[in-house]
Structure 1
Amino acid sequence: MRYALYFAPDPASPFGELGASWIGRSAVTGKAVEHPDLAGLGASELAAITGPARRYGFHATLKAPFRLSEKVTEDDLIEAIGKFASDHAMFEIPALVVGRLEGFLALVPAGPATDLSAFANSVVEAFEPLRAPLSDSEVERRNPASLSSAQLRNLMRWGYPYVFDSFRFHMTLTTRLAEPDISRAARAAEAHFAPVLSGPVAVRTLTLFVEPEPGAPFEIHTRMPLASNTHRKSA
């Protein structure tokens, strides 16, 4: 079993529902969610370009999928998440936009998001003692020859290339697409997620996802609420 620490909106919120309908699966129930027919992008085409995102669930990676260290139990992990969440306050991402990252679409911050970066860094560091070292096959799956020297160091030290200075908050929406398909998909995503893109996005929880067995869809295991700002000020 592998675990991952993600940002994911409340599944019952408008953002959560928009995300589930876009990728076509609920990470809470594991059940398929009907894709919408969008202007310029039909439901069947949307299903075809969201396959990988559907397996991982609607999310942004904070601590990439990992196996627990030999002497660490799932209960230990849950306890550590609770402690971490109680020590970190809720915050907001000022705004998200539909962006292009190496040929695929994702929701990304519209500008600098210092609170978000600091939070992601803290997640990476705090849970590192619980992570098992990568196996040789896990390293190879990251295609180390394609990584920069900094990314390779991150992979070997932290289990994931894209942390700290290489961190890129993104909520994957599609597979890699070429023109004109990526432009059509971007317009459809902007329309679909318009209610979310109109304002700030609250980060109120740290969400634990699990992969029950290799290749299985990731599921939401635990959503741990972060401390309220009121609680943090009075603590």
Structure 2
Amino acid sequence: MRYAIYYTPPFDDPLTRLGSQWLGRDAFSGKEINQPALEEISRERLSALTPFPRRYGFHGTMKAPFALAEGRSEDELRDAFAEFCERMPAFDLPGLAVTRLGSFLALTPSAPIEALDVFAATCVETFDAFRAPLSDADRERRLSSGLSDRQAGYLLRWGYPYVFDEFRFHMTLSSRLEDEREAECLKRDAMRYFAAVTERPRPFATLALFVERERGGPFTILDLRPLKAGASRVEAQQETVNV
């Protein structure tokens, strides 16, 4: 059994609905859902290009998957997660954009944001006490994937290579894309599909605790909580409009 701390909006947020349908699975219920009909990529091909992110659910990584350290319990983790959300303030993202991130497609912030980097680093440090050491197999698998010296050092210390100055927030939309032409077609489809929720400020106001009950199985949401209120101007404006 493993846990992860991910950003995802509430289940009824338009971004969540679009992201879950794009991947073909709802991480709240764990149910598979029909993927959208796109202009350039067939529904069958979209399914073949998204098995990796579909398993993890629509999310942005804050604390990468980890097994519980010896002597720690799920109840303790859930209590610590609730306390973390109560004290960490919400903030605004400048907007999300569909991006080619190496060989993957992802939603990434349209501009750098220090509050997001600080939040992610704090999350990594806070929950590391709950993380069991990596298994030899996981450590060797990661080390053999071409990490830099800095990334390898982070892996050995924090269990994940892409933390602190190596962190880049992203919400993964594809598995590895091998065909350049197909990757560009998928990107154009994604830009059209997510147009209603991209390139505009949005609140970063919730955090989720995910669980993988069996190794290699799907991740589902165990708990989703709001962050400390009062720091997100976008959320406040949305609430004002809805009054």
TM-score by length of 2: 0.92
Distance 1:180 1:91 in 2: 37
Which residue pairs with 1:125 in the alignment?
A: 125
| Kept in 1: contact 2:97–2:199 (CA 8 A) | no
User: 1:189 — aligned with what?
Assistant: 190
Q: CA deviation at 1:74?
A: 0.6
SS at match of 2:55: helix
CA contact (8 A) 2:206 2:227 kept: yes
What is the aligned partner in structure 2 of residue 233 from structure 1? none
**1:87-102 → structure 2 map (5 Å cutoff):** 87-102=87-102
Structure 2 SS opposite 1:127: helix
Mapped contact 2:24–2:33 kept (Cα < 8 A): yes
- Which sections of structure 1, spanning at least 5 residues, go unmatched? 231-235
2:207 match: 206
| Deviations 1:173-222 (CA, angstroms, capped at 9, x unpaired) | 11222221011000000011111103112111110000001111000100
Instruction: State the partner residue of 1:66.
Output: 66
Partner of 2:157: 157
Displacement of 1:144 after TM fit?
A: 3.9
Q: What are the superposed Cα offsets for residues 76-127 of structure 1, whole Å, 9 maximum, x if unpaired?
A: 1011111111111111111111111111100011111111111001100110
Amino acid at match of 1:49: L
Residue 12 (structure 2) pairs with residue 12 (structure 1) = yes
Task: Look up the match of 1:169.
Answer: 169
Report the count of equivalent residues: 230
Deviations 1:16-68 (A, max 9, x none): 10001100000111111111111112211111101111000001111000011
- Partner amino acid for 2:8? A
Separation of aligned partners in 2, 1:26 and 1:99 = 22
How far apart are the structure 2 equivalents of 1:128 and 1:134? 12
Would you say 1:21 and 2:21 are equivalent positions? yes
Which aligned pairs between 1:22-37 and structure 2 lie closer than 5 A? 22-37=22-37
Q: Give 1:146's aligned amino acid.
A: G
Structure 1 residue 141: deviation in Å? 2.4
Paired with 2:95 and 2:12, the residues of 1 have a C-alpha distance of 20
Name the residue aligned to 1:43. 43
Pairwise CA RMSD: 1.1
How big is the shift at 1:162?
0.0
> What is the distance in 2 between the residues matched to 1:155 and 1:98?
28
CA contact (8 A) 2:90 2:206 kept: yes
Moved over 2 A (4+): none
**CA 1:145–1:33: 2 relative to 1, 3 Å:** closer
- Equivalence for 1:83: 83
SS at match of 1:61: strand
- Segment drifting more, 147-156 vs 34-43: 34-43
Cα displacement (A) at 1:134:
1.0
Three-state SS of the structure 1 residue aligned to 2:185 is: helix
Give the Cα separation in 1 of the matches to 2:119 and 2:148: 24
Deviation at 1:145, TM superposition (A): 5.6
1:15 is paired with a residue of what secondary structure? Answer: helix
Alignment identity in percent? 47
What one-letter code is carried by the residue in structure 1 that aligns with 2:209? L
CA contact 1:4–1:63 (8 Å) conserved in 2? yes
Q: Secondary structure at the match of 2:174?
A: coil
